[in-house]
Structure 1
């Protein structure tokens, strides 16, 4: 075994460049694969573990207390298919009219429970204690990290209700409420609903869960069920944004693995072909065929292990911020969103295994090669097919350097095809990133207007700012009078309770020229009536809704039945859009918190900003920037992966050209001896890869376009309109076709110049 290791170590020293290429390829693949696996694991595993630990409710059902009694609701717990149930609990919706703790004014769903335990939805108390007396309240803490202990003892006041003092913070993976009080305190809040929590014996699919809920509620009075929230909706809410990133990360991970396989196979195949004499010598001095194969596999194991370890370390370092971005704004509860240790084990063991299996196929060629044939072959033998092609090309009017270079790929067709495949994947990545960048830039310009848009915030005392002196109508009148202003849109918002859900949602009300500065509508249309709303894909996914579905918004005893008439390109995962007339019905006291001021094309944005700030000390104008963190993250990662994969593809070309020049040292010496100049050597060498690079580029473009369409259709947090997906045009495609040539030429330049500097005497002396 020591002889095998000594021979492989010597082979590593002789092939430092190939060793570096393999190590870099494996490192890049390790990073992308680890990130994709981290997202895949975090999208479901942490939620399911935390949900099971709390015995979360498969269904949280709200009932109208005026239509069904608590006794009849309690009897539903004994129906077929129910594994466990808790309740009925009194459920009230109270309104907090001003900012409190970390939240803005709006509705708060409060449920009366005697303790946090029970057969279903066992709450985890984070800080403080459970509510045991009148006027005490436990708040739900929905996000990771712990609440500030200084918030304990704060009072929340609601009109027509006694003040409630915060005595603790708890977490519910079922999102059954915003807060909990004692059952006696809940009755003092005049609840209109009762809540039941169910766990079923079988809840493997949404259809089965709906059937279970229908069976449990069968026989109750019509209209008794006011809303339902189920396990699958909660799980979608948890993983919706991460699953939007998953296709992107997975695709780049697969591309990285494919490039790794191609280049590793190419390197080992080239090492075997160019090392015929070395193989023959090893066998002649007593190495068995298996030991020869072991030499080549051990030669690969050094850069592979180093690349895997470094790639796993880099992936571990950046996986936490990537997961933080993927789960930003998500209510994670007690779920710990992080990459599991098993992912690192999979990468550390899986990638080296894949690389060695890839290398085994060409290494077996050395296993079968007889010693006498290997020694007699010397340098790699010529190929008749390549010579025939070169003879035919020599009969054309092409310069001799070009004809010789164009014929070289036919001498090693297998090696040429592997190199072309690596270049094609590089062009695929470049095409994909070009399309993603075009789509995201088009999205970033939405609503910006040719002259720009000012986002004018309205100060408030609760936010520690100076409130406006002027009224809403006067502010809008003066904004429209500013030179260069084209349109003005007012936005107010409130928090409301969504029927059947324990949490609350933000409702944005718009007045004015909304279409000029709004998110584009991808499906349906923008709300026009008081009973119409629209939301982004994240909101719809997290709440299990779709365009055409109906729900009810509740606030301060007012109820507004609404229909989702449109899906926006993007929107806050917890917010929906409504009209100003809906504001008059649901939250008439909600005042504008900002104005969106679109400027005319020739307007001076800085002058307009100064003029707006002078209207009232409570106005805070800022020039609206295009894009957002999510789209910037996508483009950033896509660009990084494109540079890495393109560099790796170029290194694959570099390796191929290096092998070719080493094999053809004698031919190069002969060509130089009959008058070929160094410049002609460079031209011949570069031409040998430029043609295959062009073909690979033409093959990679449709693959990149298909990958772009796949990604933009499955980014969960944005739904791009068709106009933003159609980003490829003829000049772009022509430039992308040359990307394959550029990658190939960049990879070939260094070994081509090295070959050009070879002296005739040195080459013939070696022969």
Structure 2
């Protein structure tokens, strides 16, 4: 075994470039695959385990207490299909006039429960204890970590209710309430709703939950249910951001794996073909066929193991912050936001096995090669291989250097196919990056309309310390128009609550030239009157809403029913867009905090901003930016990865051309002896892979277009319309074909110039 190790170590030293390439490619692939596995694990197992441990509710249903008496609600627990039920619990909405602790102002959902246990939704107390008597309240802690004990004893004072003291913090994976009190205390809060928690025998899908709930509530008034929430919506909310990142990470992980396989197979195949004499010498010295195979497997295992180890360390260091970012801004409850050991173990075991499998097939050629034939083998390819193609090309009018170059790939078809695959993969990655760039730039231009430059005007003095604007809300809008704006869009921002659902949401109320926002709608239309709203796919999915559904918004005790009339391209999972006339009912007198002015084409945005600031020192005006952070992040990430894989594909071409020129030293010497110039040698060598680059470009474009469509169709938090996906044009596609040729030529230039510098005497002397 020591002899095998020494021979493998010597092979690694002889092929330093290929060794470094293998290590780098395996490192990148391992890192990306580990991140994808970490996201997959964090998006599924933690929620399911914590939900099952707490006997989470498949459905949390809120009833109008006046239309559904308590005895009839209790009877629903015994209906067919109901596995277990808890309740009815009284529910009230306490109006918070200002933010309290980590909660925003608005309605606080409070439920009366005698204890945290029960057959459904076993609430876990994290700090303190459960409420036992009057004046005590337990607050829901939905974020990760343990609440600080110093918060115990905090007091809640709200209009019309007795003071309440915080005696504990608890968490519910069902998100059934924001706070709990005793049933006796709830009576003092004037409850108007009743809550039931159900677990069903059939709850495998939203449709199954709907059927089971309909069966359980049959006989109750049709309008008795005021709100409901399914556990599928909670699970989707839990993993929504992670699911959005997963397609990007998975695609590039798969591309990295394919690159690893291609490069390893190419390196080992080239080492076997160019090392016939070395193989023969090893066998003559007593190496068995299996030991020869072991030499080549060890040759790639060393850099692969090093790259896998470093990639696992890098992936492990990035996985935890990456997972935290992917799950930021959601209620995680008891679900642990940590990365288990299985992704690292899978990579440490799986990546070396994948590399060995990729190297085994070409290494078996060395197993079958007889020692005598290996020792006597020349450096040129076997006679007759590709000869027919060479003769056909020689009969054409192509320059001799070009015809010889075009025929070379047919002499080594296996190696040429591996090189073609590497080039195709590089073009595929470039195509994906180009498509993503086009889609994201169109997304960044959303709402710009066909006018000129935009100017953002901030009118919120509380966020900057500026004096309040001199003019009123409507007067400010009119002044912006008189200063030269063709379009003005006013926006007010406030925190709202959804009737019957815990949590705070962020509402944008728009007024003015809202037509520029219509492009953001992918289903339905933009809100145009009071009682209408639109939201992104993440918000609608997590709330279980769709276009046409109704809900209600609450602000400081005021409630307005609203209808979902549009689904927009994207939006925060906790944000929604509403018509301004709804704000006039919810919070009369609220003024806009921001104005977006659109100028005429060719207008000077900077001069307009100065005129606005001069007209009213309470306004902060700045020219609007041309892009956003999300666009820059996606374009930057895909561009870096396309450059990386394009470089790796070029290194694959470099390896192929280097092996070919070493094998054909005798042929090159003979050609130069009959008059071939160094420039013709370079032309012949570059032409030998330029054809592969052209074919790789033609094959890589449709693969890249399919991968681009797969990505943009599966980003859960953004619903791109068709016009943003159709980004391909004839000149662009022609340039992508040229990308394949460019990858091939760049990879071939260095070994081609090296071949051109070979002297006739040194080549023929070796023969």
User: What's the TM-score once normalised by structure 2's chain length?
Assistant: 0.94
| Distance of aligned partners of 1:134 and 1:509 in 2 relative to their CA distance in 1, 3 Å threshold | farther
Shift of 1:7: 1.4
Structure 1 stretch displaced more, 4-13 or 210-219: 210-219
Partner residue in 2 for 1:645? 645
Displacement of 1:219 after TM fit? 2.8
Matched, 1:459 2:463: no
Q: What secondary structure, in the 3-state scheme, does the structure 1 residue paired with 2:386 have?
A: helix
User: How far has the Cα of 1:556 moved from its partner?
Assistant: 5.3
1:477 aligned partner? 478
Q: Say yes or no: does 1:51 pair with 2:23.
A: no
SS of residue matched to 1:384: coil
1:142 Cα deviation from its structure 2 partner: 2.9
1:400-439: per-residue Cα shift (whole Å, max 9, x none)? 2222111111111121111111101110110110110111
Q: Which secondary structure does the structure 2 equivalent of 1:175 belong to?
A: coil
Aligned equivalents of 2:456 and 2:103: distance in 1?
Answer: 22
For residues 455 and 166 of structure 1, the distance between their equivalents in structure 2, rounded to whole angstroms, comes to: 43
Contact 2:548 2:563 in 1 (8 A): yes
Change (3 A) 1:571 1:610: same
Unpaired runs of at least 5, structure 1? none
Change beyond 3 A, Cα 1:502–1:147: same
Alignment partner, residue 396 of structure 2:
396
How many angstroms apart in 1 are the aligned matches of 2:746 and 2:709? 29
Partners in 2 of 1:99 and 1:468 — Cα distance? Answer: 25
- 1:677, distance to aligned residue in structure 2 (A): 2.6
1:185–1:457 CA distance, 2 compared to 1 (3 A): farther
Counterparts of 1:422 and 1:462, CA distance in 2: 53
Deviation at 1:739, TM superposition (A): 0.1
Counterpart in 2 of 1:422? 422
Q: Contact 2:517–2:526 at 8 Å: present in 1 too? A: no
Checking the alignment, whether the CA contact within 8 Å between 1:86 and 1:197 is kept in structure 2 is yes
- Partner SS for 1:552: strand
The 1:188/1:603 distance shift into structure 2, 3 A limit, reads farther
- Pair 1:153–1:464, CA change in 2 (3 A): farther
Provide the residue aligned with 2:520 in structure 1.
Answer: 520
Question: Which deviates the most, 588-597 or 417-426?
Answer: 588-597
TM-fit CA distance, 1:185: 3.0
Q: Residues 490 and 596 of structure 2 are in contact (CA less than 8 Å); yes or no, is this contact kept in structure 1?
A: yes
SS at match of 2:144: coil
Superposition deviation, residue 99 in structure 1: 3.8
The Cα offsets for residues 64-112 of structure 1, whole Å up to 9 and x where unpaired, read as 1112222332333344444433322221123323344445432322222
1:682 pairs with 2:647: no
Q: What does residue 630 of structure 1 align with?
A: 630
Which residue of 2 is the match for residue 186 of structure 1? 186
Partner secondary structure for residue 577 of structure 1: strand
Match of 2:745 in 1: 745
Partner of 2:355: 355
Trace 1:471-510 onto structure 2 (pairs within 5 A): 471-481=472-482, 483-510=483-510
Deviations 1:427-469 (A, max 9, x none): 0110110110111111111223543333333436599775545
- Distance apart, 1:354 and its partner CA: 1.0
Q: Decide whether aligned partners of structure 1 residues 205 and 593 sit closer, same or farther in structure 2, where only a CA change above 3 A counts.
A: same
After superposing the two structures, state which structure 1 stretch, 419-428 or 166-175, moved more: 166-175
Q: Which residue of 1 aligns with 2:754?
A: 754
- Separation of aligned partners in 2, 1:170 and 1:467: 42
Deviation track 1:12-63 (CA, whole Å, cap 9, x = no partner) reads 1122222122212211211221122222222212221222233322211111
**How far apart, in 2, do the equivalents of 1:506 and 1:110 lie?**
21
**Which deviations, in whole Å up to 9, do the C-alpha atoms of 1:656-693 show, x marking residues without a partner?**
11111111111122222233232222221111101110
State the alpha-carbon separation in 2 of the partners of residues 112 and 627 from structure 1: 49
| Separation in 2, partners of 1:135, 1:117 | 21
Unaligned regions of 5+ residues in structure 2, if any? none
Range 676-685 or range 465-474, more displaced: 465-474
Count how many residue pairs are aligned between Structure 1 and Structure 2: 766
Q: Distance in 2 between matches of 1:148 and 1:458?
A: 37
Q: Which residue of 2 aligns with 1:255?
A: 255
Per the alignment, residue 27 of structure 1 pairs with 27
Instruction: Answer yes or no: is the 8 Å Cα contact 1:455–1:623 preserved in 2.
Output: yes
Matches within 5 A, 1:11-26: 11-26=11-26
Q: Do 1:107 and 1:495's aligned partners in 2 also have CA atoms closer than 8 Å? A: no
**How far apart are residue 149 of structure 1 and its match?**
6.0
Indicate the SS of the match to 1:38: helix
Can you list the C-alpha shifts for 1:464-496, whole angstroms capped at 9, x where unaligned?
775545432333333333x23222222234444
Q: Which moved more, 1:393-402 or 1:72-81?
A: 72-81
Secondary structure of the residue aligned to 1:196 is: strand
Q: Does 1:537 align with 2:549?
A: no
Q: Which moved more, 1:159-168 or 1:289-298?
A: 159-168
Partner Cα distance (1:441, 1:711) in 2: 16
1:112 maps to 2:112: yes
2:84 counterpart residue number: 84
Map 1:203-214; keep pairs closer than 5 Å.
203-214=203-214
Matched, 1:171 2:171: yes
Could you tell me which residue of structure 2 aligns to residue 596 of structure 1?
Answer: 596
Partners in 1 of 2:576 and 2:527 — Cα distance?
11
* C-alpha contact (below 8 Å) 2:178/2:503 kept by paired residues: yes
Alignment of 1:56-75 (within 5 A): 56-75=56-75
Structure 1 residues 109 and 621, CA gap change in structure 2 (3 angstroms) = farther
The SS at the match of 1:529 is coil
SS of aligned partner of 1:436 = helix
Query: Secondary structure at the residue paired with 1:528?
Result: coil
- The residue aligned with 1:440 is 440
Whether 1:160 aligns to 2:160 is: yes
Q: Distance in 2 between matches of 1:589 and 1:131?
A: 39
The whole-number CA distance in structure 2 between the counterparts of 1:222 and 1:675 is: 95
2:596 is paired with a residue whose SS is strand
1: CA distance between counterparts of 2:630 and 2:725? 17
Cα separation, partners in 2 of 1:168 and 1:492, compared to 1, 3 Å: farther
CA contact (8 A) 1:274 1:380 kept: no
Question: Could you say if the C-alpha distance between residues 214 and 383 of structure 1 is closer, same or farther in structure 2, counting changes exceeding 3 Å?
Answer: farther
Residue 242 of structure 2 aligns to a residue whose secondary structure is helix
| Separation of aligned partners in 2, 1:676 and 1:57 | 81
SS of 1:485 mapped into structure 2? coil
State the shift of 1:601 in Å.
2.6
Deviation at 1:625, TM superposition (A): 2.9
Could you give the per-residue CA deviations for residues 507-529 of structure 1, whole angstroms, max 9, x where no partner exists?
32211112235661111111123
1:305 aligns to what? 305
Partner in structure 1 of residue 579 of structure 2: 579
Contact 1:538 1:572 in 2 (8 A): yes
SS at match of 1:642: helix
